[in-house]
C-alpha cells in the first residue's frame, strides 16, 4: 500500500474511523505542513484540497477498506489492516488528534486561512468566516498572483502530481494550457488530456489540445543521447512551417489569454519539442516572454 494511503488511514483511525471530507482534507494538509509531504494541495473552494487524496479514497473504496459514502469512513472492522508508519508520522498524527478533536469545521478552516492565506484565494466562504481585516490578507495574497505580463510558459508533467501541476498554473496566473502532445494519453491517469481539462476548468483555466504540433511516437524511438534529441528537434523545426493552421490557432490563443503554458511530458525542456515550438512562436510575437517551469 502506498505510504500516503497509510497516512490517510491512520488519520482516519485517530479520529474514530469516520470524518467528513473537509475535515480529512484539512488534517492531511496540516500533516504535510508538519512533516513529510505525502500530498500536495491546491487552493480550492474550501481551502487546501488534494485531487490525489480523492483518487486514493476511490482506490481504498474499491479495495473494500473505505465505504462508498460522502465522507471518509471505514467499511468494517479495520483492526486487522496492520498499518505501520514511522514514529515521526505517528507523533504528528497524535498531535493533530490532541489539537483538533473538538474543533468545528468552520474554526478549523478559519485557522488554516489565517496561517496559510494562499489556500484561501479561491475560497467561496472566506468572506463569511473572516473579518474584513483578515480577508484583506487573502486579497493581498491573491493580488500577488495576479500577474498580467504576456508570457509563454512551458511545462512538463514528468514527476509531477496533478496538484503540483495546477499549483504552478495558479501561482503564475496561467489562463490557458495548450497540450502539444500528439496523443493526450498518459499511463499517469491524471495527465490524460480529458482529465487535465476537467481539473483546470475548476480554476477557470482553459485547455486546448493541438495534436498537429506534437511529434509522432514512431519518431521518438531510440532517443538515447542528447544529440538524438537535437536531431529530431531540427527536423521538427524544419517542418513547423508546414503547420501554419495550427500555428495561427496557437497565436490566436496566446493573443486571447496572454499567459499560456505549452504542455508536454518531459520535465527538462531541453529534451522536449515544446522548447522549439516556444522559441518559434516567440519570434513572431516579440512582446511575449518565455519561461520554463
pLDDT, one tens digit per residue, over 10-63 is 999 999 999 999 999 999 999 999 988 999 999 999 999 999 999 999 999 999
Distance of CA 177 to the CA centre of its chain: 13
Query: Which structural domain range is residue 7 located in?
Result: 3-142
Look at residue 82 and give its three-state secondary structure. Answer: coil
What is the rounded distance in angstroms from the CA atom of residue 205 to the CA atom of residue 198? Answer: 10
Shared-domain flag, residues 288 and 151:
yes
User: Which residue(s) pair with 176 in the sheet?
Assistant: 206, 260
* pTM score: 0.92
Confidence at 145, pLDDT banded by 50, 70, 90: confident
Shared-domain flag, residues 53 and 88:
yes
Q: Which of 103, 121, 142 is the last residue of a domain?
A: 142
User: What pLDDT is stored for residue 79 in this prediction?
Assistant: 57
Mean of pLDDT over the chain: 93
103-138: buried (b, 16+ CB within 10 Å) or exposed (e) per residue? eeeeebbbebbeebbbbbbbbeebeebbeeeebeeb
What is the rounded distance in angstroms from the CA atom of residue 169 to the CA atom of residue 155? Answer: 9
Question: What is the pairing mode between strands 72-73 and 206-209?
Answer: unpaired
What is the rounded distance in angstroms from the CA atom of residue 160 to the CA atom of residue 266? Answer: 10
pLDDT, one tens digit per residue, over 171-224 is 999 999 999 999 999 989 999 999 999 999 999 999 999 999 999 877 777 777
User: What pLDDT is stored for residue 15 in this prediction?
Assistant: 95
User: What pLDDT is stored for residue 80 in this prediction?
Assistant: 66
Angle in degrees, CA 68, 71, 74, rounded to 5: 65
Shared-domain flag, residues 174 and 282:
yes
pLDDT exceeds cutoff 90 at 137:
yes
Question: What is the pairing mode between strands 42-44 and 47-49?
Answer: antiparallel
Shared-domain flag, residues 128 and 180:
no
Shared-domain flag, residues 171 and 274:
yes
Shared-domain flag, residues 178 and 284:
yes
Shared-domain flag, residues 60 and 116:
yes
Shared-domain flag, residues 80 and 179:
no
- CATH number of residue 271's parent domain: 3.40.1010
User: What pLDDT is stored for residue 253 in this prediction?
Assistant: 93
Q: Which of 93, 113, 142 is the last residue of a domain?
A: 142
pLDDT, one tens digit per residue, over 63-99 is 999 999 999 999 876 656 778 899 999 999 999 999 9
Shared-domain flag, residues 102 and 13:
yes
Count of the separate structural domains present in the chain: 2
What is the rounded distance in angstroms from the CA atom of residue 293 to the CA atom of residue 291? Answer: 6
Angle in degrees, CA 259, 135, 32, rounded to 5: 70
Shared-domain flag, residues 43 and 128:
yes
Shared-domain flag, residues 155 and 133:
no
User: What pLDDT is stored for residue 284 in this prediction?
Assistant: 78
Q: Which of 116, 142, 168 is the last residue of a domain?
A: 142
Shared-domain flag, residues 58 and 170:
no
Confidence at 241, pLDDT banded by 50, 70, 90: confident
Amino acid at each position: 500500500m502506498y505510504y500516503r494511503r497509510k497516512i490517510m488511514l491512520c488519520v482516519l483511525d485517530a479520529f474514530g474511523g469516520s470524518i467528513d471530507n473537509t475535515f480529512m482534507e484539512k488534517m492531511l494538509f496540516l500533516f504535510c505542513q508538519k512533516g513529510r509531504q505525502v500530498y500536495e494541495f491546491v487552493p480550492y473552494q474550501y481551502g487546501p484540497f488534494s485531487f490525489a487524496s480523492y483518487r486514493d479514497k476511490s482506490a481504498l473504496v474499491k479495495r473494500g477498506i473505505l465505504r462508498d459514502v460522502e465522507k471518509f469512513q471505514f467499511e468494517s472492522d479495520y483492526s486487522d489492516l496492520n498499518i505501520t508508519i514511522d514514529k515521526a508520522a505517528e507523533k504528528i498524527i497524535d498531535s493533530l488528534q490532541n489539537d483538533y478533536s473538538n474543533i468545528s469545521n468552520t474554526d478549523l478552516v478559519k485557522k488554516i486561512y489565517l496561517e496559510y492565506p494562499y489556500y484561501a484565494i479561491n475560497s467561496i466562504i472566506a468572506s463569511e468566516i473572516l473579518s474584513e481585516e483578515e480577508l484583506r490578507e487573502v486579497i493581498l495574497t491573491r493580488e500577488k498572483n495576479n500577474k498580467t505580463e504576456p508570457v509563454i510558459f512551458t511545462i512538463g508533467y514528468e514527476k509531477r502530481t496533478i496538484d503540483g501541476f495546477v499549483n504552478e498554473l495558479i501561482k503564475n496566473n496561467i489562463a490557458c494550457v495548450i497540450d502539444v502532445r500528439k496523443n493526450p494519453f498518459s499511463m499517469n491517469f491524471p495527465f490524460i488530456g480529458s482529465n487535465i481539462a476537467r481539473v483546470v476548468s475548476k480554476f477557470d483555466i482553459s485547455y486546448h489540445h493541438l495534436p498537429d504540433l506534437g511529434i509522432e511516437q514512431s519518431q521518438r524511438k531510440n532517443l538515447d543521447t542528447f544529440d538524438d534529441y537535437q536531431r529530431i528537434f531540427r527536423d521538427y523545426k524544419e517542418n513547423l512551417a508546414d503547420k501554419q493552421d495550427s500555428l495561427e490557432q496557437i497565436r490566436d490563443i496566446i493573443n486571447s489569454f496572454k499567459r499560456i503554458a505549452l504542455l508536454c511530458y518531459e520535465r527538462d525542456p531541453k529534451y522536449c519539442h515544446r522548447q522549439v515550438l516556444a522559441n518559434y512562436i516567440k519570434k513572431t510575437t516579440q512582446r511575449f516572454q518565455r519561461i520554463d517551469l
